């Protein structure tokens, strides 16, 4: 099984080129999954480890689609299934791994049902808040020519966010919008006790950053 994990890492690396969703992000999520799993019982690591490594396998394809129709969780589950089938994974494990990938997105109606899926969800969300989250958000801001700070409007929400929560034109988005829409709500959305604890700690740091950023941008500090 370890040799298969190494093969999965190679396949994952070949698919990822986005700066904020690269191998560094995947390995942080992978390590967070193992950390959280140590605090939970009856976790199938043969499900969790491949799911963590493959969860963003379709992320670049989503980022390159300005129609907003590509959902990297849905497409990623299918791509992962093909890879795992090639590596002769048992069908029951493939389905469990696909469920984890399908349900790892924040903006989705697909809810994680298994402990492995819940751990992956939490680990992936933890990597978008705190100091790492700030760094990643501004990596994306540079990649998509976003402003340092911009607030949303009703027109923005109507024209740039589709039904599946996907942002169509990322150049019209901003780190502060992402904080308002997503980041500050994350700890309440997490499933595991360890994830909730870490989420609150990371968000406290992020809150202070965006508060100060707003004051500096407005010239009040």
Report whether pLDDT(41) > 70. yes
CB 36 within 8 A of CB 195: yes
Q: What would the mean pLDDT of 126-153 be, rounded to a whole number?
A: 88
51-70 per-position pLDDT tens digit: 999 999 988 787 777 676 77
CB 94 within 8 A of CB 81: yes
167-200 per-position pLDDT tens digit: 777 777 889 988 988 899 999 999 999 999 999 9
Helices in the chain by DSSP H: which ranges? 2-15, 23-37, 45-54, 59-63, 72-86, 91-102, 115-126, 130-143, 154-160, 175-181, 186-189, 193-217
Q: What would the mean pLDDT of 19-38 be, rounded to a whole number?
A: 90
User: Could you tell me the pTM of the whole model?
Assistant: 0.86
- Dmax of the chain from CA atoms? 60
Domains in the chain, number: 1
Q: What would the mean pLDDT of 71-87 be, rounded to a whole number?
A: 93
Residues forming a β-bridge with 167? 161
82-92 per-position pLDDT tens digit: 999 999 999 99
* pLDDT given for residue 69 in this prediction: 75
Q: At what angle do helices 2-15 and 23-37 cross, to 10 degrees?
A: 140
- Supply the CATH number for residue 187's domain: 1.10.3210.50
List the domain range (segments joined by +) for residue 142: 2-217
Report whether pLDDT(164) > 60. no
């Amino acid at each position: 099984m370890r040799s298969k994990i190494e093969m999965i890492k190679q396949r994952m690396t070949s698919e990822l080129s986005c700066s904020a969703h690269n191998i560094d992000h995947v390995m942080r999520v992978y390590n967070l999954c193992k950390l959280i799993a140590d605090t939970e019982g009856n976790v199938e690591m043969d499900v969790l480890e491949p799911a963590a490594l493959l969860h963003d396998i379709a992320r670049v394809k989503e980022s390159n689609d300005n129609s907003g129709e590509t959902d990297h969780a849905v497409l990623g589950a299918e791509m992962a299934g093909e890879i795992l089938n090639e590596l002769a994974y048992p069908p029951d494990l493939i389905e469990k791994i696909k469920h984890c990938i399908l349900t790892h997105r924040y903006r989705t109606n697909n809810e994680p049902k298994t402990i492995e899926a819940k751990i992956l969800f939490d680990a992936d969300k933890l990597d978008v808040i705190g100091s790492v989250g700030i760094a990643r958000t501004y990596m994306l801001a540079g990649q998509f020519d976003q402003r340092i700070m911009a607030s949303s409007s009703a027109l923005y929400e109507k024209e740039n966010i589709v039904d599946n929560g996907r942002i169509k034109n990322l150049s019209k988005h901003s780190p502060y919008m992402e904080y308002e829409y997503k980041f500050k709500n994350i700890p309440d959305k997490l499933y595991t006790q360890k994830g909730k604890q870490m989420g609150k700690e990371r968000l406290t740091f992020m809150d202070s950053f965006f508060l100060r950023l707003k004051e500096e941008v407005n010239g009040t500090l």
